[in-house]
Chain A
């Protein structure tokens, strides 16, 4: 471990054994994904007659087309897209504004406010589904985009404020003070200095939030009752309920639901890790 590269050259048996076991476990980890993809590409007859890991002999693309129509995917896909595209940037903006105010402006009770916000990062919203329904219902917002976006915003704020606050706090206060003396307002300083310097953090949070908004199920289940307002996870759940024995189509539906988040992950991989760890591990 003094010089790992050297060790590998000398073929350290421990490292080789380690590598083999890590690779084997990784194969096991991939099996569900491979199995699902293969099934999605097989015809019904082939699913029943061939082994689980046999490569599809003739690719049955029609599974995707049929599942798309049966599952009302064009509608659920559209709803998920609208909700995600509004919620994610808007949530990040209001979180960044709040984090800036808490980190750079003396309000007298910054610390208490910060604790109040952080508290929410730990709360399970699964506990509050019924009162949440009740609240959104009393505002007449059940089955509307705002009715689900507002709670999503609320439960996204704590974690994002937490991360951005620790980032903004590291910027020297003198910088802000100098700009204030030059006559800038806090709004200008936030927009012209803090937003640009925090772009890498914002990008990381954006991608994390995209995935979690895209995947959210429990709140949508309660707040979106009308089939035409459903998001992808709700659509998938109902598809499973109705067509659970059309294995090829069901697996095609799973692939279509999972694909956008997977692509985002594969493209922006490094941001995930930095977004997750910048907050959690620094303490």
Chain B
């Protein structure tokens, strides 16, 4: 076969079109994932040539001898539960409201979505300043209301800090759920709603029996995306507390980073990463199977 005719084969052309994207993806996204798995069975400080195999020692260490790991695990769990419940519920509420024909609907939607496009690290910086115990927004508001005694050191108090960060996270993420729900609501058949009204159904009945069933696929998507994005919470915590005070806001993603990049224990950091990766896969794989099934049902 000459070069020209080879070039004309659809298969070759397809491979040429695929290679740049697949190549960079395999090398810079898939390989690091494999490498993190390998590293989790090794002892390495990031500098020496030698990566020594240590079997399951890193896992043993993080599970049995590292109290911070369990704090991070617990915080990640709390964080995930909160972020799967609160932002999607608020987002659904806003979407239902803003799906009505209301005056100034578009600007209202824009306001709710605005925080989504702000860099998480800038959100962290903004809220750190708002939580400033002396001149921050909350300290001032409480002082104006004569409630200074309610003021706490929002990011400095071990019992409060995680939830203070979460408030900022909600502020940033509600708009995302809202937009997905708004799009999902477009798929609700309006003639069904009209028919239900004619039959004398009230708003609640319409919501429960018409809107909610039609939203089911959207709800699944929002919940899965919320879970995934909550497991990777990193920027906002790094920026607001760095995991402190006294590790009270430590999370798995941040702890993996700290172990590897700041304590230079790549093995233990990678073991934490693998735990987080497994947790993510436990959500992702069923979801992918579900969406494959949806797709083949649709065809």
Contact = CB atoms under 8 A, between A and B. Distances in A.
Given A217-B235, A281-B183, A122 B228 contact: yes
A219 to B, nearest CB: 10
Contact of A130 (B135, B273, B298): B273
Interface string A22-40: 1101100111110110010
B274 to A, nearest CB: 8
A44 to B, nearest CB: 10
A250 B21 contact: no
B228 A124 contact: yes
B179 A94 contact: no
Contacts of A124: 228, 231-232, 253, 276-277, 280
A65 to B, nearest CB: 19
A283 to B, nearest CB: 5
B13 A262 contact: no
Interface in A58-109: 94-95, 97-98, 100-102, 105-107
A39 B232 contact: no
Contact of B14 (A29, A186, A215): A186
Interface residues of B, number: 103
Interface of A: 1-2, 4-5, 8, 14-15, 18-19, 21-23, 25-26, 29-33, 35-36, 39, 47-48, 51-52, 94-95, 97-98, 100-102, 105-107, 113, 115, 117-120, 122-135, 150-151, 153-155, 157-158, 161, 180, 185-187, 190, 211, 214-215, 217-218, 221-222, 232-233, 236-237, 240, 244, 247, 250-251, 254, 257-258, 261-262, 264-266, 269, 272-273, 276-277, 280-281, 283
Contact of A18 (B100, B135, B273): B100
A236 B10 contact: no
B14 A233 contact: no
Nearest to B39: A131
Given A119-B288, A236-B121, 12 more contacts: A1-B193, A22-B94, A22-B97, A29-B171, A32-B130, A33-B114, A98-B20, A122-B280, A123-B280, A157-B25, A158-B29, A277-B179
B180 A277 contact: yes
A111 to B, nearest CB: 9
A131 B36 contact: yes
15 contacts: A2-B197, A4-B100, A4-B101, A32-B171, A52-B137, A126-B253, A134-B46, A135-B31, A153-B28, A157-B21, A186-B14, A217-B120, A254-B126, A276-B176, A283-B291
Contacts of A29: 111-112, 114-115, 171
A262 B122 CA distance: 12
A258 B120 CA distance: 10
Nearest to B232: A124
Nearest to B21: A98
A135 B36 CA distance: 11
B82 interface: no
B249 interface: no
A122 B288 contact: yes
A281 B235 contact: no
